[in-house]
Every structure is written in C-alpha cells, then in structure tokens.
Chains A and B, each alone.
Chain A
Amino acid sequence: DARVTQTPRDKVTEMGQEVTMRCQPILGHNTVFWYRQTMMQGLELLAYFRNRAPLDDSGMPKDRFSAEMPDATLATLKIQPSEPRDSAVYFCASGRGVGESYNEQFFGPGTRLTVL
C-alpha cells in the first residue's frame, strides 16, 4: 500500500532552534508539494518540486525556510531559526505530473510543529 511518509509526526522545539522535516514521496511520483496549515491562515502551499527541481517556492519565507530534494526518495523542509509563528501542521504530498499538469496529489499524515 503505497503512501507518503513524513517524519517526525510531532515536533516540539524552542524558538531559535533548527527544525528539519522529512518526506518520502510515493515511489515513481515526480512531483512533491509542501503545505502548511494553521487555524488562522488555513492551508497554504509553501513550495513544490518537479523531478527534484523547485517549480515554485514563493509561498515560503525565504529568510528562514528552505526546501530541497536531495534525491528522488527524500524531500526536506528546514526552518532556521524557528519562531512561534511557525507552529503549524506541515503536509507533504506527492503525485505524477506531466508538463504543467498533474491529476493527483497524495498527502502524507503531516508533521505537527510547535515552537515555544
């Protein structure tokens, strides 16, 4: 049963610490998305990749956030330094895309981040 996995599932950290969230997309999927969800802002797209190259990361605060795909089986989202306002659930999703389109996104269970 193929699924997107995310680690850690929960993370509590102190302000100023570095946070790294990891995502393993479904094997064979060439598109990976990072979303953030909060009660105040709802669901937001932070960044997405096609064939490991970033297609868009305009939703991401550039000064502290970075997203990478070191290889096809791993996507990472880093926050350095973390701030209390970064507290949210971070979702990774993967899918198969061709050109500019894609017809599916499968979401991981999310990482619940709390920054104290």
Chain B
Amino acid sequence: EDKVVQSPLSLVVHEGDTVTLNCSYEVTNFRSLLWYKQEKKAPTFLFMLTSSGIEKKSGRLSSILDKKELSSILNITATQTGDSAIYLCAVQSTGNQFYFGTGTSLTVIP
C-alpha cells in the first residue's frame, strides 16, 4: 500500500531554533515529492523535489530528497513565530496520484 509518513507529529521550539521535519514514503513509481505549509487558511506550496532536482532552498527553508532512503527533510533555520503552521508532505507517482502525509504541526514560541 502506498503511503507517506511524516515525523514528528508535532514540535514545539523557541524562536531562533533550527528544526528538521521528516517525510518518508513508500510509493510505487515515484515521480516527485512536494512540501506545503498550512496555517489557518489555504495551504502554501513550498517546494517540489524530483530526481533531477533533489535539493531546493528558499530563504531560511531548505529541503533535500534522498531517493535511496525514500525520504525527504525540510529544514527551517532561525525559526520565527510566523513559521508556526502544519507542514504537509506529498508524493506524486508517475501515474499522477498524490499521497499525502498527515502533517507535522510546528509551534514556534517567542
């Protein structure tokens, strides 16, 4: 059964800390892995990682895909209270199906 598992389920850190969120997958015929951020409203798309683009960076956020380990990490450095959100990971198969994880809830305390 295809699945995506995220860990930890929740995380509480202090401002300025660095956090690492994990996403592991068992998906037949992997095409891409996507990261989203969701606060109280609509999700925000963060990154898409593929075999040809295994590392992405945007400001304090960065993500790496490890196809050998079937996993990805999302790093956030110098965290701010505005980073508090649920971070979702999804994997797209070559058949175009998407499989979502249940998310990691991040809380950044001032």
Q: Chain A: residues with CB nearer than 8 A to chain B?
A: 35, 42-45, 48, 55-56, 58-59, 91, 93, 95, 100-110
- Please tell me which stretch of B19-27, B41-49, B76-84 contacts chain A, meaning at least 4 of its Cβ atoms lie within 8 angstroms of it: B41-49
Cβ of A101 and Cβ of B45 under 8 Å apart? no
Q: Given contacts A91-B43, A93-B45, A107-B42, is CB(A42)–CB(B103) below 8 Å?
A: yes
Contacts of A100 in B (CB 8 A): 31
* A56 engages B100 (CB within 8 Å): no
CA distance A1 to B90 in the complex (A): 28
- Name B98's closest neighbour in chain A (CB-CB): A45
Whether B102 sits at the interface, judged by CB under 8 Å, is: yes
Q: Which 10 A-B pairs have the closest CB atoms?
A: A56-B96, A45-B98, A105-B45, A107-B42, A43-B100, A55-B96, A107-B43, A110-B42, A58-B97, A42-B102
Can you list 24 residue pairs at the A/B interface with Cβ under 8 Å? A42-B88, A42-B100, A43-B36, A43-B38, A43-B88, A43-B100, A45-B90, A45-B100, A56-B95, A58-B95, A58-B96, A58-B97, A59-B98, A91-B43, A93-B43, A93-B45, A95-B45, A101-B50, A102-B48, A106-B45, A107-B44, A109-B41, A109-B42, A110-B42
Cβ-defined contact, A91 with B50, below 8 A: no
A91 to B88, CA, bound (A): 15
Residues in A neighbouring B105, C-beta threshold 8 A: none
Q: A40 vs B8: C-alpha distance in the bound complex, in angstroms?
A: 19
Residues of B within 8 A of A102 (CB): 48
